[in-house]
Amino acid sequence: MTRSTIELVPTEKDRRIARHAAAAIVLTVAEAAIPLPLPGVKPGLANIVTLIVLARWGWREAVWVALLRVLAGSLLLGQFLAPGFFLSLSGAIASLVVLGVAMHLPRRWFGPVSHSILAAFAHIGAQLVVARLWLVPHDGVFYLLPVFALAAVVFGLVNGLVAARLLEELHGAAPAASKASATSPER
């Protein structure tokens, strides 16, 4: 067998992204096992990983992790290129855009909980628009908005709190990137 002439040497950053994406994928698959009352209302546990990556390693890595998670998660669940895949993809892109803006809010006042809730609203917003334009061409989908908005607040709050908690733990355990130095000082 001839040796390949192309050698891909993964950098430390690549490995880090892969590790975080793997954690997010595990959460996605685990979450798929939870029975849910309404299609579309999901805790979005994998976003905890996105929030942590955003806080510790910045927006670009968060984008990688979130999009890899959507892609690999859909492959594992047999949803790739199915309507559900495009809904999660649109939601992920919208929430990443909002996170990119929200991360520049003053850190003294706005923590992971704010990021999480704002991203959750972007998520449902984009999903409803895609669903309205493509899957359910009727204004009836907007009747679900109050339910989705409530879910965004509740799950956004829970995910944000978990992410903030884990960030504290990680901050105590390992020297993080400079961006993480601003996590809440009180313990």
Q: For binding to other proteins (CB under 8 A), which residues are involved?
A: 105-106, 108-114, 117-118, 121, 142-143, 145-146, 149-150, 152-153, 156-157, 160-161, 164-165, 168-169, 184, 186
Burial of 38 (0-12, 13-18, 19+ CB in 10 A): exposed
Kindly state the smallest distance separating residue 69's Cβ from other proteins, in Å: 24
Contacts 24+ apart (CB under 8 A), 135-141: 135/83, 135/87
CB of 73 or CB of 125, closer to other proteins: 125
Q: Helix 46-57 crosses helix 112-130 at what angle (to 10 degrees)?
A: 130
CA end-to-end distance (rounded Å), the chain = 57
CB of 7 or CB of 186, closer to other proteins: 186
Kindly state the smallest distance separating residue 8's Cβ from other proteins, in Å: 39
Q: Count the helix, strand and coil residues of the chain and give each as a percent rounded to the nearest 5.
A: 75, 0, 25
CB of 71 or CB of 166, closer to other proteins: 166
Kindly state the smallest distance separating residue 32's Cβ from other proteins, in Å: 25
Kindly state the smallest distance separating residue 63's Cβ from other proteins, in Å: 22
Cβ neighbours around 101 below 10 Å, total: 12
CB of 32 or CB of 105, closer to other proteins: 105
